[in-house]
Amino acid sequence: MPGNYDAVDLWFTDEADFNLVEGDLGDTSVDLVRSIVQEVRTRVKSNKRDWRTDSFIGADLEMFIGEPNSKGLAEEIKLAIRNALIIDGLLDSGDITVLALPLDIHTILFRIIVRVATLTTQDSLSLTLVYDTLNDDIRLL
């Protein structure tokens, strides 16, 4: 059974800006899994040591800069993403699937699927990102 990841947090736009609603800061109370989506995005885009109080959090994708695309590299990055999401119990390892699809010599598309249970349903959410190892560029789609 998937974990319940309902939480209320500030609502950030996809560009990491505050979401303003009628002049007030918006929150995720209208979409309870939005909070976990935001946390997954933050961790994937972060490197270890980015957060002073939680220096172990982050997928640390910068360590793959300049590496050519290979099956082994894709597996290493999948493991780094997975570990960033389970290291402190944010997600249960059984609720996460990370898939990889090579696009070119330095670019890999990743799909992160998280099984979630809310108060009303069981479902999964999916985040897609493209990582360019040549430029250390992470684009969330």
| Token pair listed for 125 | 């959410």
Terminal alpha carbon distance of the chain: 28
What local confidence, expressed as pLDDT, does residue 17 receive?
58
Confidence at 6, pLDDT banded by 50, 70, 90: low
CATH number of the domain located at residue range(s) 20-140 in this protein: 3.10.450
Contact 85, 72 (CB under 8 A): no
Residue 57 is predicted with a pLDDT of 83
Q: Taking the domains of the chain in order of start, what are their residue ranges? A: 20-140
pLDDT tens-digit profile of 30-81? 666 777 787 888 889 888 887 777 777 899 999 999 998 899 999 999 999 9
117 alpha carbon, distance to own chain's centre: 18
Q: What is the pLDDT of residues 81-134, one digit of tens each?
A: 999 999 988 899 999 999 999 999 999 999 999 988 766 666 788 889 999 999
Angle at 79 between CA 96 and CA 109, to 5 degrees: 80
Q: Which residues touch 99 (CB under 8 Å, ≥6 apart)?
A: 78, 110, 111, 113
Cα diameter, the chain: 49
Cα–Cα distance, 111 to 130 (Å, whole number): 9
pTM exceeding the 0.85 threshold for the entire prediction: no
